[in-house]
């Protein structure tokens, strides 16, 4: 968390930032990028943009261009352009001549440019970095990437950047300030606060020259006037040929948008619960997590989640962190979120019984008695019949799903007394007895909440005491208590956030589930 001293350092840093903007040009790569755009434009004009065969080709060509733009890697890096991929595209393009003869010339030209680059060991961005920073101390320097988890540090092994930090945008929300941050990729790929609420004395933006970019120079801090305005120097490096304005590429065109069918994975995981009238439902945002997992989070203004805020310190060998609460609407890709992935089961009951003290067995006995009577009636008459009867007795949400939930041992009682009273009437209890049993339920619920909070504190302590160096590279870590069934928390990197909100059952909020399949890009 910010204290006054830290805040002053951040304000001072933001108010005295020098931005150096380097545009790197490589003739063959520029031609490849322009040819790719012409190919896509022609497909769009011919109304073939939805053709799956062409989409496969475009997807692979897009992925290559994006990786070269976003990472300081050589053109022939086997992680982004393998011989197998070249063979795949060659086969596709040969067939393309037969299926779409109008595209033959431009497709062949594009493939030849890609083939040339796949045999080219040049790395213009890293070469420029090695030359530009020769003799400069880089002790407090960081490299900012769009997707830091995709970068193989081995590429920097034999360079002067071997020990610099690799950051994502979300790492620049804390109090750590740097002497220099080297940004790889178009400016518009990164949030505005990276530049106008800067965490560095100097920001060097290095990107290829054939992309349109602009930057705002107003500070992000409300009511704050910087000591000096942001200074921007723009230099064009290694220019081959002038690029026509109409050939310049929009930065958004290069980005790879995940082809997630949010509606499908939402429906699959909330089933038909969302259509059930009267069920407790709220508006939620859907968040895609590392490893193709997902979670619904409450979208109300005040709703918050726990996140891990990394505090890299140059004087420490171990990465330090803060665990803080952030409003769900402020969560963005790259954030590391902490979620309960196992409730603690029997351990919750054990801790809850401690909170209830000597009355625990009495409270549990009363709870078991009414649950048993309720279950016996359900078994005799069936869920459908009981659902109708409970509605007749005053419950407004006695759906079959809710009846099953209320009968479950995991559910202590309905949320509303009128629904609980309907159950009590069904099993032959008076309203006076129902109130006493209701109070008993509330005592158990309160003890379970206290137990849940206690276990969460133990888990958070476990997170603090764990070396999280692998979390940034793997994107997920699990934290379990030593006690049998003691509960588990998991830290996930946020990959994407659905553009729309969903109305989901309250029981699904905060529950991590597998979204299935592999995410496609293109």
Quickly list DSSP for 126-193: HHHHHHHTTT---TTEEEE-SSGGG--GGGGTTSTTTTSEEE-GGGGGSS--EEEEEEES-GGGS-TH
> Cα 363 from chain centroid?
42
Question: In the chain, which stretches have pLDDT less than 70?
Answer: 1-15, 48-50, 153-154, 158, 214-243, 257-280, 311-319, 343-346, 473, 482-486, 516-522
Residues 241, 267, single domain; the answer is no
Are residues 425 and 278 located together in one domain of the fold? no
Residues 57 and 197 placed together within one structural domain of the fold: yes
Residues comprising the chain, all counted: 522
Question: Is 311 a domain residue?
Answer: yes
| Structure confidence at residue 242 (pLDDT) | 57
Beta-carbon contacts of residue 108 (< 8 Å; ≥ 6 apart): 93, 97
Q: Are residues 277 and 291 in the same domain?
A: yes
* 287 in any annotated domain: yes
Judge whether 196 and 14 are in contact, CB under 8 Å.
yes
Structure tokens at 113: 């440019």
At 21, is the secondary structure helix, strand, or coil? strand
- Distance (Å) of CA 229 to CA 14, 50, 223, 232: 9, 47, 15, 9
Q: Which range marks the domain in which residue 313 is found?
A: 262-343+486-514
Distance CA 225, CA 246 (A): 38
State the residue for tokens 């099953």: 404
Residue 193's nearest CA partner among 207, 209, 211, 174 is: 174
Domain endpoint, select from 204, 221, 253? 253
Looking at the fold, whether 23 and 57 belong to one and the same domain comes out as yes
Q: Is 402 part of any domain?
A: yes
Nearest CA to 107 out of 60, 74, 140 is that of 60
For residue 127, tell me if it sits in a domain: yes
Residues 216, 70: one domain?
yes
Q: What's the pLDDT score for residue 287?
A: 92
175 in the same domain as 97: yes
- Within a domain: residue 242? yes
pLDDT score at 260: 54
**Spatial separation of the C-alpha atoms in residues 109 and 94, rounded to whole Å:** 12
Q: Which two tokens stand for residue 314?
A: 């140059």
pLDDT value of residue 1: 47
137/161 Cα distance (integer angstroms): 10
In a domain, 149, yes or no: yes
CB 154 within 8 A of CB 498: no
| Same domain, residue pair 62 and 163 | yes
Residues 245 and 308 in one domain: no
Helices vs strands, H then E, count in the chain? 16, 14
CB atoms within 10 A of CB 471: 21
Closest among 220, 168, 182, 136 to 19, alpha carbons compared = 182
Q: What is the largest CA-CA distance in the chain?
A: 89
pTM for this model (two decimals): 0.62
pLDDT of 441 reads 95
User: Do residues 281 and 234 share a domain?
Assistant: no
- Note whether residue 293 is domain-resident: yes
Note whether 491 and 444 are same-domain residues: no
d(Cα 67, Cα 147) in Å, to the nearest integer? 10
Identify the H or E element spanning 432.
helix 431-464
As for how many domains the chain has, the answer is 3
Q: Is the residue at 475 inside a domain?
A: no
Same domain, 144 and 65: yes
């Amino acid at each position: 968390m910010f204290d006054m001293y830290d805040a002053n350092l951040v304000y001072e840093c933001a108010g005295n930032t020098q931005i150096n903007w380097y545009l790197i040009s490589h003739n063959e790569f520029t031609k490849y990028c322009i040819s790719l755009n012409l190919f896509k434009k022609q497909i769009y004009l011919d109304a073939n943009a939805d053709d799956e065969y062409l989409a496969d080709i475009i997807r692979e060509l897009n992925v290559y261009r994006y990786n070269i733009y976003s990472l300081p890697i050589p053109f022939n890096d086997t992680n982004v352009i393998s011989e197998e991929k070249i063979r795949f595209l060659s086969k596709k393009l040969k067939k393309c001549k037969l299926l779409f003869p109008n595209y033959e010339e431009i497709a062949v030209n594009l493939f030849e440019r890609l083939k040339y680059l796949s045999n080219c060991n040049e790395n213009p961005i890293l070469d420029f970095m090695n030359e530009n920073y020769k003799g400069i101390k880089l002790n407090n320097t960081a490299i900012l990437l769009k997707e830091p988890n995709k970068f193989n540090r081995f590429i920097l092994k034999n360079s002067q950047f071997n020990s610099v930090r690799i950051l994502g945008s979300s790492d620049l929300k804390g109090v750590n300030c740097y002497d220099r941050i080297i940004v790889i990729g178009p400016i518009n790929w990164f949030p505005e606060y990276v530049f106008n609420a800067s965490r560095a004395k100097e920001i060097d933006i290095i990107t290829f020259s054939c992309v349109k970019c602009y930057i705002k120079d107003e500070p992000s801090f409300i009511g704050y006037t910087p000591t000096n305005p942001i200074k921007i120097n723009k230099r064009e490096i290694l220019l081959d040929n002038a690029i026509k304005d109409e050939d310049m590429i929009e930065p958004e065109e290069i980005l790879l948008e995940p082809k997630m069918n949010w509606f499908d994975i939402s429906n699959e995981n909330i089933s038909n619960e969302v259509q059930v009238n009267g069920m407790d439902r709220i508006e939620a945002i859907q968040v895609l997590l590392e490893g193709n997992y997902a979670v619904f989070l409450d979208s109300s203004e005040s709703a918050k989640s726990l996140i891990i805020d990394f505090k890299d310190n140059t004087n420490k060998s171990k990465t330090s962190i803060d665990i803080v609460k952030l409003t769900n609407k402020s969560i963005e890709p790259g954030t590391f979120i902490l979620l309960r992935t196992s409730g603690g089961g029997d351990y919750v009951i054990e801790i809850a019984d401690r909170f209830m003290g000597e009355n625990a067995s009495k409270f549990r006995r009363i709870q078991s008695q009414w649950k048993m009577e309720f279950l016996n009636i359900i078994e005799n008459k069936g869920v459908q019949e009981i659902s109708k009867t409970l509605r007749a007795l005053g419950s407004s949400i006695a759906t079959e799903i809710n009846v099953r939930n209320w009968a479950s041992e995991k559910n202590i009682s309905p949320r509303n007394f009128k629904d609980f009273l309907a159950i009590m009437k069904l099993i032959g209890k008076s309203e006076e007895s129902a109130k006493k049993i209701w109070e008993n339920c509330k005592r158990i619920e309160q003890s379970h909440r206290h137990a849940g909070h206690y276990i969460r504190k133990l888990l958070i302590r476990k997170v603090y005491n764990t070396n999280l160096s692998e979390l940034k590279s793997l994107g997920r870590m699990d934290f379990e208590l030593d006690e049998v069934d003691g509960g588990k928390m998991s830290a996930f990197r946020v990959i994407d956030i659905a553009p729309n909100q969903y109305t989901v059952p309250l029981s699904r909020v905060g529950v991590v589930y597998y979204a299935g399949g592999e995410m496609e890009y293109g």
